[in-house]
A and B are shown apart, each in its own frame.
Chain A
Amino acid sequence: MTLDSKVPEGALADKWEGYRFDMKLVAPTNRRKFKIIVIGTGLAGGSAAATLGELGYDVDVFTYHDSPRRAHSIAAQGGINAAKNYRGDGDSIFRLFYDTIKGGDYRSREANVYRLAEVSNEIIDQCTAQGVPFGREYGGLLDNRSFGGVQVSRTFYARGQTGQQLQLGVYSALARQVGLGSVKLHTRAEMLEVVLKTGQAVGVVVRDLTTGEISTHSAHAVVLATGGYSNAYYLSTNAMACNGTAVWRAYRKGAQFANASFTQIHPTCIPASDEFQSKLTLMSESLRNDGRIWVPEKAEDPRPAGQIPDAERDYYLERRYPSFGNLVPRDVASRAAKQQIDQNKGVGPLHNGVYLDFHDSIERLGRDVIEARYGNLFEMYQRITDENPYETPMRIYPAPHYTMGGLWVDYELMTTVPGLYSIGEANFSDHGANRLGASALMQGLADGYFVLPYTIANYLAGYLNTDPVSTDDPVFHEAEREVTDRLNRFLGINGSRSVDWFHRELGKILIEHCGMARNASGLEKALSEIPALREEFYQDVRVLGENETLNQSLEKAGRVADFFEMGELMCRDALHREESCGGHFREEYQTEDGEALRRDEEFAHVASWEWTGTDTEPNLHKEELEFENVELTTRSYK
């Protein structure tokens, strides 16, 4: 099949307006006749459900959390970008578009990214009106900070808790609709299957996590807003429950999966302290605004940071990238840190970190200013490490954090399955091969508040006065049986090792061979190891308890089972992409001084994969990327 991105005709700046004029509408009185299912209540899913409910559609929203407020969007710290140009420093919609395309290393679709930049300003208006307490100046107007990879100040923030405050804003909008009865909320409810009839999405199968009850739900359209799959790596900055099951189930039903290998490894996380560590904690990269990154010049230097004189420190980012310094994009900063550690210059008890030093900033600005900017981050660091970052430099190391890859979607955010949409981190669009800081929150809210609520009408309008497929239809019974069989299979294996054991082993393979640096032989090794481990999982995993109660091991078993298959696709995608771009660094493709070598002639495309079976290779489809408004240049942050 050929991928039709449905990008509207016209000049870049006119496409979205043109689309909105040309699209089919659903009249206000007809909207209640349409049932829409939204899976996930993070920034994207929560805002979409709230807005669709507000518009008058009949909405059911599902989350596996006990409350919509807890989605992992809440953990984003630094901020949200918008092209307001409140600083008067030369920002514009076109510049935000340009920075995002460039930051993504020219692997995203121009029209989607431009629309994202266009609606960014409305997001700030919307959130401010909702009572999100953004940081303000003394005159009462909104404050901004600058963020990695750009040269303007366009990031809005709420202390170090921007994600939390935006998520609570979304939650409040959603709660309002739930209270009004226009949205039905299902908590502790995990979607385990998408239901299709004659190739169209018609509903979902859901497990109640407290009672184990399996239920089926039908609708005119299904929206997946279930986040990313960084947890495939086991150790990541994602919350423990984050998983790829919803998107993977959709993939197995025919929705194509794009750019699976585009994962972002975030440069400023707290290094692991021991092998039992269950997750890594990220600290906002806004810290790089005032912190200086360095390692001892000498390998295996045993001296504590304070005893290493300035002349014997290597401020390697400032040295290699004089114009961006410590603010180079995430992929560049992460890879540079790995190189230092590979040269045995790592610091800390396990030699697994680099320093992020605030000494100079504290001297220049005073401790009060630093405390006002980063107080809560410093506190968090101290709580975890028992070290005081005002006195000794922080130790940081990169960790898997965000996945740019995801379900392939067209301009309307619809997957290759008609009626099935994917928004937020769950889709592949907008960030190309690398996401800029403070852009995830922007994309989640753009998709949920300002894009999907329009584009979904264009599909629904064709089904006016058509009832959704009944849940008595055989397709629902079949899907329900598949889900039940799968759960029973996990419970029946009764092997000898825990789900977590298998997850950790998978994580080790992925971070080793499909992490910050990849090469063909490593990826091929991973592609033989992962299926073997998956096979072992189905022979030897031990899931105790039963289906009919809360059973977190059983929940995890299904998620990890899907991570095996996702991990394979990540490696396959990385193997296919014989170039280095953004977060994807193939060791075979680098410049003489070790920078990423893009190959635009062969790889300026989206690699979209179609499932063919668990043990057969997926089919590759390419969406060629056309750049009419930006010139492809080699990213240089020097």
Chain B
Amino acid sequence: MNVSLKVWRQDGPAAAGEFTMYEATDISSEMSFLEMLDVVNEELIARGEVPIEFDHDCREGICGMCSLMIDGIPHGPQRSTATCQLHMRKFKDGAVITVEPWRAAGFPIVRDLVVDRSAFDRIIEAGGFISVATGSAPEANLIPVPREAAEAAMDAASCIGCGACVAACPNGAAQLFTAAKITQLNLLPQGQPERWSRTVNMVDTMEEYFGSCTNIGECASACPQDISLDFIALMNRDYARGMVRQRRLTGQRS
């Protein structure tokens, strides 16, 4: 099959970017989208043109490194699928496909299709952990965890940190990412001691980098891991409770 690609090229963070057209010819429909880009890059190198930079790594949908807005949709047209798991059989022969980087104020462009997502690390550093020094943990079966709680925590924990939620959001908000981590830990008995400080600190850090949530829900529909919007509701509830418990709503110091 043949497809035409309209690809965002940008030399660096401060440079102006533009779309450039490329043709991908004689592509196998069994190829993944990224393998198709590999072939395009091989051709560019053969012609002496600088290849397209794009983030990718595991190519099995788990590391969260790959990104790409494909025809305006984060990770492309197939639901619940990261770009690296998207195959060319999902496109029509002769299609014109627009490929852009994540577009969000919180994710500045590094080059071409590569963006800087380190703001996510800052959110985790603010509280996305349970403080347990190595070696100080109690016997693992000492604290039973109801299976339902463990499963719900696992649902939240399956977030791969790709940033599709932010890219999909008209406000460039990171609520789904942040809520997934907060809820994973807040649902477990081990996460209770730091529950309120974690929630408040992570939400406050998130607000420094990202836009605000207006409950549109684009994030959940773009999520390759199907992280549920419900987690945002749980986070918001814990945030409000955390603010009260830490007596921050009334301007008092905790």
* A residues adjacent to B (C-beta < 8 A): 47, 50-51, 54, 65-70, 72, 74-75, 84, 86, 122, 124-131, 133-142, 158-159, 161, 163-165, 168, 171-173, 175-176, 178-179, 185, 187, 210, 239-241, 273-274, 276-279, 281-282, 380, 383-384, 386, 449-450, 453, 496, 498, 500-501, 542, 544-545, 549-553
Please, which residues of chain B bring their CB within 8 A of the CB of A173? 129, 132, 134
Please determine whether B85 and A383 come into contact, CB atoms closer than 8 angstroms.
Answer: yes
Is the CB–CB distance between A140 and B144 below 8 Å?
yes
Further contacts, 16 of them, CB under 8 A, given A50-B134, A276-B35, A498-B46: A70-B64, A84-B140, A128-B137, A129-B140, A131-B190, A133-B184, A134-B150, A136-B146, A161-B62, A240-B59, A276-B39, A281-B59, A380-B61, A380-B85, A549-B111, A550-B112
Contacts of B39 in A (CB 8 A): 276
**Most A Cβ at <10 Å: residue of B62, B128, B138, B139:** B62
Q: A129 to B130, Cβ gap below 8 A?
A: yes
Contact (A544, B50) CB under 8 Å given A125-B138, A164-B158, A176-B125: yes
Q: Given that A131-B185, A133-B153 are known contacts, is A278 also in contact with B130, CB under 8 Å in the complex?
A: no
Residues of A within 8 A of B135 (CB): 122, 126, 449-450
Question: What residues on B are CB-neighbors of A542 within 8 Å?
Answer: 45, 48
Count of chain A to chain B residue pairs whose CB atoms are closer than 8 Å in the complex: 222
> For B45, what are the chain A residues with a Cβ–Cβ distance below 8 Å?
498, 542, 544, 553
CB < 8 Å neighbour of B65 from A54, A70, A175, A453: A70
Task: Establish whether residues B157 and A168, one from each chain, have CB atoms under 8 Å apart when the complex forms.
Answer: yes
Known contacts A54-B134, A140-B146; decide if A128 and B62 are in contact (CB<8 Å): no
Query: Could you list 8 examples of A-B contacts with CB < 8 Å?
Result: A70-B58, A72-B57, A128-B140, A129-B136, A276-B28, A279-B59, A498-B46, A550-B110
B234 within 8 A of A: no
Residues of B within 8 A of A (CB): 11-12, 28, 30-32, 34-35, 38-39, 41-42, 45-46, 48-51, 53, 55-65, 78, 81, 85, 87, 89, 110-112, 114, 116-118, 120-121, 124-126, 128-141, 143-147, 150-151, 153-154, 157-158, 160-161, 184-185, 188, 190-191
- Contact partner of B117 (CB less than 8 A), chosen from A66, A168, A550, is A66
Of all chain B residues, which has the CB nearest A50? B134
Report the Cα distance A338→B65, complex, angstroms.
33
With contacts A136-B150, A176-B129 taken as known, whether A449 is within 8 angstroms of B134 at the C-beta atoms is yes
| Residue contact B144 to A550, C-beta cutoff 8 Å | no
Residues of A within 8 A of B133 (CB): 54
Contact of B188 among A125, A133, A137 (CB under 8 A): A133
> Are A130 and B132 in contact (CB-based, < 8 A)?
yes
Q: Closest CB-CB distance, B248 to chain A, in whole Å?
A: 20
- Taken together as a complex, chains A and B put the C-alpha atoms of A501 and B11 apart, in Å, by 25
B141 contacts A66, C-beta separation under 8 Å: no
Assess A75 versus B110: contact at CB under 8 Å? Given A131-B153, A131-B188, A274-B31.
Answer: no
Q: How far is B35's CA from A615's CA once the two chains are assembled, in angstroms?
A: 35
Q: Assuming the A-B contacts A140-B144, A276-B39, A450-B135, are A69 and B158 also in contact, with contact meaning beta carbons closer than 8 angstroms in the complex?
A: no
Residues of the A chain whose Cβ atoms lie less than 8 Å from the Cβ of B89:
386
Residue of B50, B81, B129, B140 most packed against chain A (CB within 10 A): B140
**B130:A67 contact, CB within 8 angstroms:** no
Min Cβ gap B94→A in Å is 20
- Cβ B190 vs Cβ A278 within 8 A: no
| Residues of chain A contacted by B116 (CB below 8 angstroms) | 66, 210
Q: How far is the CB of B35 from chain A (nearest CB, A)?
A: 5
Which chain B residues border A282 with CB–CB below 8 Å?
60
Contacts of A131 in B (CB 8 A): 129-130, 153, 184-185, 188, 190-191
Say yes or no: B11 contacts A549, CB within 8 Å.
yes
